[in-house]
């Protein structure tokens, strides 16, 4: 009986010690982790807006600096909107907004950049997803993402969507882009939520069409 009590007390005490150490480490690093998340978001926004960041050491600082100079964050329709300005800070070069939707294996987070007149897509990136590596995860590759550059935000001929993802190599009509090889479900998921998000953004931003706030 005495041994049992000792076991329980020992275990309890040990757990206390270790969880305290772990919590301490977490606390010490919490700020850095938060900072990382922030810089990542900024980098993703800049990428979607087509604003190039100088790579190499001190990239994080460059990202934050550039973001501070050229991007303004605002809220609209319950979502964050990042307005990108040119070097002078006067003219709007485009807007970036976060889009999210269910993927096949988990939620996919995207950042979409459109031009100032909201007439075409400037870029799209997928900072977060849980799709299968080698299949759905290839959405992050330039080969797939670059297809969206210059995609007109126009629905051609009675279509209800801005773009469709079709079997790679068979895209022939405007608005048809190559899906990801072997990743039918992920491609369908992306098609669905990205079109929906583009719809809602375009509909809610009539003032942006003139390129002025």
Distance in Å, CB of 47 to other proteins, minimum: 14
Instruction: CB nearer to other proteins: give 128 or 155.
Output: 128
How far apart, in Å, are the Cα atoms of 175 and each of 22, 61, 123? 51, 38, 15
Q: What's the length of the chain?
A: 213
- Residue 80 binds other proteins (CB under 8 A): no
Which structure tokens are listed for 168?
A: 């790679």
**10 near other proteins (CB under 8 A):** yes
Dihedral sign of CA atoms 107, 113, 118, 122 in order: negative
Among 161, 185, 204, 205, binds other proteins (CB under 8 A): 185
The Cα–Cα gap between 31 and 102 comes to 30
Q: Which of 68, 106, 150, 174 binds other proteins (CB under 8 A)?
A: 106
The DSSP element (H or E) to which 35 belongs, if any, is: helix 2-49
**Least Cβ distance, residue 44 to other proteins (angstroms):** 12
Binding site for other proteins (CB under 8 A): 3, 6-7, 10-11, 14-15, 18-19, 21-22, 25-26, 29, 32-33, 36-37, 40, 102-107, 128, 130, 132-136, 182-186
């Amino acid at each position: 009986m005495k041994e049992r009590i000792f076991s329980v007390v020992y275990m309890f005490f040990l757990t206390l010690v270790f969880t305290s150490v772990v919590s301490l480490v977490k606390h010490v690093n919490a700020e850095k982790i938060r900072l990382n998340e922030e810089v990542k978001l900024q980098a993703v926004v800049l990428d979607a807006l087509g604003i190039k960041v100088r790579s190499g050491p001190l990239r994080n600082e460059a990202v934050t600096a550039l973001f501070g100079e050229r991007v303004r964050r605002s809220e609209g329709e319950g979502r964050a909107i990042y307005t990108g300005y040119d070097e002078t800070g006067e003219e709007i070069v485009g807007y970036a907004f976060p889009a999210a939707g269910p993927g096949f294996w988990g939620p996919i987070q995207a950042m979409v950049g459109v031009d100032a007149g909201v007439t075409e897509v400037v870029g799209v990136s997928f900072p977060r997803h849980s799709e299968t590596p080698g299949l759905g995860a290839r959405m992050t590759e330039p080969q797939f993402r670059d297809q969206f550059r210059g995609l007109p935000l126009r629905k051609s001929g009675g279509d209800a969507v801005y773009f469709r993802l079709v079997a790679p190599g068979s895209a022939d009509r405007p608005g048809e882009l190559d899906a990801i090889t072997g990743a039918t479900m992920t491609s369908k998921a992306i098609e669905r939520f990205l079109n929906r998000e583009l719809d809602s953004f375009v509909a809610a931003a009539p003032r942006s069409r003139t390129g002025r706030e």
